[in-house]
Amino acid sequence: MTRRLNNFALLVICGVIVATPLAYGTVHQPTLIAFYATTLLLALLWAAESWVSGTGFRGNWLQLPLLCLGIYALVQSLALGRSSDASIDGIGFTISVDPFESRVAAIHIFVLSIFFAATLFYIDSAKRLRRLAILIVVFGFAYAFYSILQLVLSPEAIFGIYRPTATPFGSFVNRNDFAAFMVMLASIPLGMLFSGAIAREKRLIYVVAVGLMATSLLLSRSRGGLVALLVEFPLLVILTARGRGKSKILLKAGLSLAFLITAIGGTLLVGGETSLTRLSVTNFATEKPAETTSRFHMWSVTTSIIRDRWILGAGIGAFPTVYPRYDTSSGTERVEQAHNDYLQLLADAGLVGAAIGLFFLYSLIRQARKSIRVNNLFRRGVAVGALAGIVAILVQSLFDFVLHITAISVMFLTLLAMLVASGRDFEDDIPGDDEPRRRRQSASVSSLRHRDSARRSDA
């Protein structure tokens, strides 16, 4: 009974990872309700298994920043006092400019926290970690292939049905969101390839999968995604260069260049010359996104909000409400995000948000140092890939609002869970994956042989 619950819960997690991007990124109310209901089912399965088996909670420091953010959003929506204005006497004072939206944001953050905690709980073996990595590789390959096919056959309609006002790509309404998702999908096979965790006879499969993912990313024409990908490659080289010679480092740098050349070649083959042209002739600050408002202007307005509300913030989720009060443009277009997750965190949560963000970075560095140093070659490859994908998204967040998209948040939390799981020791670890141990054993054997030969010569 317990095993069945456990397997079904893991199946639900895999279903969420695959379904959230296919459901237009899970940004519309019906898809959000389905995501919340699925997460509630996951929580019930988790509670049932814990009650039957008596299994404890597998916690991690990385869970605390997300929980703190949700709690603070809830605090911002509460009436903490009474207004001193006689005309509105008796009306509660809230930190948030829009208490309702802050409560909605708190619920969303708590649901993501449940998904993250459940994923940490159910990745309880090396076999499951391996299966999740394979799922990401297979889904990334299939999703990239479909997205390229859709670009050729029906570029303006998602699944040939939904025609959004923005520029879509794949199943995402916004091409930048697709690029961010693809960067994370590609990070796992890249980490395993750069770490040497893939068997020689399977490497070509992973190379083809990564090449197709990179090609779809370039075809999406997302400059933020391209920057994230360009950050990911040198980071992978650095993370896997420990104790390696210069020839190995040059080989990995050449592999990175080969992936980019392959992606460019695939883009030209599909007919994506305009995608490459767009990537080379424009810049982030002056690009006009769906709201037809430049990023530079949005950042300037957001800075004004931060200046006035730098201690407690304007309210998590309240950005669309407070933005028009500071907007100096015509105001005919609705701006819902700052196109910079860091500026928006400061505008929404002030110094409290900054403290939570710094605590997350500290926890991430602490966990990363542990996970990427494990002896097991497979788990180290997964850890390196997950960390590269996480850092790449944190870089892209300087230009976009990708972490506000549910599907990207789910994948980001999945990478965090895989990073944590990679740092654990499992009973079913494959001994052949323990590369450093094999090297130590071979070194000790050669040392013993040398000592025996020395004794024979002395005799």
Instruction: Give the Å distances, CA to CA, from 308 to 219, 314, 326, 344.
Output: 41, 9, 10, 14
If one counts every other C-beta atom within 10 angstroms of the C-beta of residue 98, the result is 21
Q: What are the tens digits of pLDDT across the range 74-111?
A: 999 998 766 554 445 555 689 999 999 999 999 999 99
pLDDT of residue 259: 64
- Lowest average pLDDT, out of 213-227, 247-261, 277-291, 391-405, goes to 277-291
Distance of CA 189 to the CA centre of its chain: 15
Among the ranges given (23-27, 37-41, 76-80, 131-135), the one the predictor scored with the smallest mean pLDDT: 76-80
188, 136 in Cβ contact below 8 A? yes
Q: What is the mean pLDDT of the chain?
A: 84
Burial group, residue 253, by CB count within 10 angstroms (0-12, 13-18, 19+): middle
Any alpha helices (H) in 273-405, and if so which ranges?
Answer: 273-281, 295-308, 319-326, 341-371, 377-396
Instruction: Specify the length of the chain in residues.
Output: 459
Q: What is the DSSP string of 301-331?
A: HHHHHHHHSTTT-S-TT-HHHHHHHH--S--
3-state secondary structure of 82: strand
pLDDT in tens, 375-392: 999 999 999 999 999 999
Distance CA 247, CA 239 (A): 16
Region 298-304: mean pLDDT is: 93
CA distance 208 to 211: 5
Determine the Cα–Cα distance for residues 14 and 21; give it in Å rounded to an integer: 12
